[in-house]
Structure 1
Amino acid sequence: MANIQIRKYKDEDAEHVQEIFILGMSEHLPASFMHILKQPLTQMVLMCTFCAFLTSSKSFLLPILAVTLLLAGARQMVVYLLNKYIETCLRKDLRNISETYLGQKDSCFWVAESDGQVVGTVACLPSKNETGCLELKRMSVHLSYRRLGIAKALCQTVANFTRDRGYTAVVLHTSVVQTDAQKLYEHMGYKRISESAAPEFAAKIFNFNLIVYRLDLQQN
C-alpha cells in the first residue's frame, strides 16, 4: 500500500470527502435496481401487466411498451431513493464533519491520502443501539484506489481507536446490495448479527434489508 497515509480529517478535506461518498453510493444504483427486479412482487406486477395488455390489445407491441415504462419507472424510483439517502447523509453529518465527529468524545473521522489526494474515508462514533460499542460509518474508497488494502487499513484504524478507548466491539450497518463491503467486513472478522428491512416503505416492500455486523475486540 505505497504512498498511502491515514490521518484525521481536516476542514479543507470536506469537498473531497463528499465527492467520494456520493460517487461510492451512486455505484450501488445498478445492484439496487437488479435487486428490485428479482423480487417476486416486481415480477408479478410485470407479468400481470404484460398479460393484461396482451389480452386487451392482441398485440405484443403494447404490452412490451407497458412493461418497458414500468421498468423505467422502477429505475427512477431507485434513483430517487438513492439521491434522497445521499442528501440525508450530507445534511446530517457530512456537511459538518468536524462538529459531528471531531467535536465529540470517542468519535473521529479519518481520510486515506495518496500523494496529497484524499482517496478514502471512514468514521466512528458511539453506537446508539449497542451498549459499549463504537459504530463504523462512512467507509468509502475511491474506485481507482481499490484492491490496494486501503479499506482494510481504514477498518483497522477504527478497530484500534475503539480498543484504545476501552470499548468492547465495533458495529456497522450495510445494505443487502453492498456485497463487496460484506465480503470485506467478514474478511476482517466481523460477524453478521442481524438483518432487517430499512425503515422506508418502499424498502420494506422490496426487501431492501440492512445488515448489522459486529467485531468483538480483545482488550490488552
Structure 2
Amino acid sequence: MAASFQIRKFQDEDSEAVQEIFTVGMSEHIPSSFTHILKQLVTQMVLMCVFCGLMGSSKSFILPILAVTLLLAATRQLVVHTCTVYIENSLKKDLLSISETYLKHKNSCFWVAEADGRVVGTVSCLPNEDVPEALELKRLSVRRSHRRIGIAKALCRTVADFTRDRGYAAVILYTSVVQRDAQHLYEDIGYKKTKEFVAPQLIAKITNFTLFEYRLQFKEDD
C-alpha cells in the first residue's frame, strides 16, 4: 500500500469515524488481555485448585474440566466487560465532545489522518496536571487496514511538533502491558519508559495489569 495520507485538525463531521476507530482499536486488546490474565500465577493456582479439588471429590474428569472451562469463559467475559466499560467511559469523557475538550484551548488539539477519502487514524494531546512541563499524547489509533505505512509515527510527530511549539519540555503518554506494538513504536521514535505501575482497579491489582509511562524529552537546543 502506498503511504499516501494527510494529517489535519479534527472536524465535527469526523466524530463517528473517530469513535469507531477508537472502539475497534481498544477491542483488539481483548485477546492479549485475556492471555495476560492466564499467565498470572494467581489465575493458574485458582484453575489448578478447582480442577484438583473437583477431581478428588467427584472422581470424574468431566466435572473438573467443565468447571475450568466455565471459569475460563467467565474470565474472558470479565475482560470483555472491563474493555467495554473503559470504551464507554472514554467516549463520555472526551470522545463525544472532541471540539469542546481539545479545540477550544491553545495547549490542546485533536488530529485525524485521512487516506482514501476517509479517516484512518487519530491522535490528541492536552496538558497533564501531574506533569505540568509536558503535554500528554492520547487517543493514538490507526485502522488495521492502514497500519505499517507510517501513519502512527506521523501522528506522533505532529504531537511532538505541537508540544515543542507551545514551549513545553516533553511529551508523555501512558500505555499498558498488553499493548506491545505501541510500546515498540514509542521506543522506536525516541520515547523512554519512565515509570510503571499497576492500574488502580481491583481486577488490575489481582492480575498485575501494569501501565507504563513514556516520555519524549526535547533537547534544549531543539
Instruction: Quote how far apart the aligned CAs of 1:96 are.
Output: 0.2
**Aligned residue type for 1:168:** A
Gaps of 5+ in 2: none
What residue in structure 2 maps to residue 27 of structure 1? 28
Correspondence 1:159 to 2:160: yes
What residue in structure 2 maps to residue 184 of structure 1? 185
What residue in structure 1 maps to residue 80 of structure 2? 79
**Aligned residue type for 2:157:** Q
Instruction: Quote how far apart the aligned CAs of 1:127 are.
Output: 1.2
Instruction: Quote how far apart the aligned CAs of 1:2 are.
Output: 3.2
Instruction: Quote how far apart the aligned CAs of 1:3 are.
Output: 2.4
| Alpha-carbon separation, structure 1, partners of 2:52 and 2:3 | 58
**Aligned residue type for 2:49:** C
**Aligned residue type for 2:62:** L
Instruction: Quote how far apart the aligned CAs of 1:105 are.
Output: 2.5
**Aligned residue type for 1:20:** I
| Alpha-carbon separation, structure 1, partners of 2:153 and 2:106 | 24
Alignment of 1:30-41 (within 5 A): 30-41=31-42
What residue in structure 1 maps to residue 173 of structure 2? 172
Question: SS at the partner of 1:132?
Answer: strand
Question: SS at the partner of 1:113?
Answer: strand
Query: Could you state the TM-score of these two structures normalised by the residue count of structure 2?
Result: 0.97
Q: Which runs of 4+ in 1 moved over 6 A?
A: none
Aligned CA RMSD, in angstroms, stands at 0.8
What residue in structure 2 maps to residue 105 of structure 1? 106
Per-residue CA deviations over 1:86-116 (Å, capped at 9, x if unaligned) read 0010000000000000012300000000022
Percent identity of equivalent pairs: 65
Correspondence 1:131 to 2:149: no
Per-residue CA deviations over 1:126-162 (Å, capped at 9, x if unaligned) read 1121121000000000000000000000000000000
| Alpha-carbon separation, structure 1, partners of 2:32 and 2:169 | 34
Question: SS at the partner of 2:132?
Answer: coil
Per-residue CA deviations over 1:5-60 (Å, capped at 9, x if unaligned) read 00000000000000000000000000000000000000000000000000011011
| Alpha-carbon separation, structure 2, partners of 1:58 and 1:105 | 69
Instruction: Quote how far apart the aligned CAs of 1:199 are.
Output: 1.3
**Aligned residue type for 2:147:** R
The answer to whether the 8 A contact 2:108-2:126 is kept is: yes
| Alpha-carbon separation, structure 2, partners of 1:147 and 1:164 | 27
Matched residue count: 220
What residue in structure 1 maps to residue 16 of structure 2? 15
| Alpha-carbon separation, structure 1, partners of 2:184 and 2:110 | 23
Alignment of 1:48-67 (within 5 A): 48-67=49-68
Correspondence 1:146 to 2:147: yes
Correspondence 1:88 to 2:89: yes
Query: Could you state the TM-score of these two structures normalised by the residue count of structure 1?
Result: 0.98
| Alpha-carbon separation, structure 2, partners of 1:145 and 1:128 | 33
**Aligned residue type for 1:85:** Y
Gaps of 5+ in 1: none
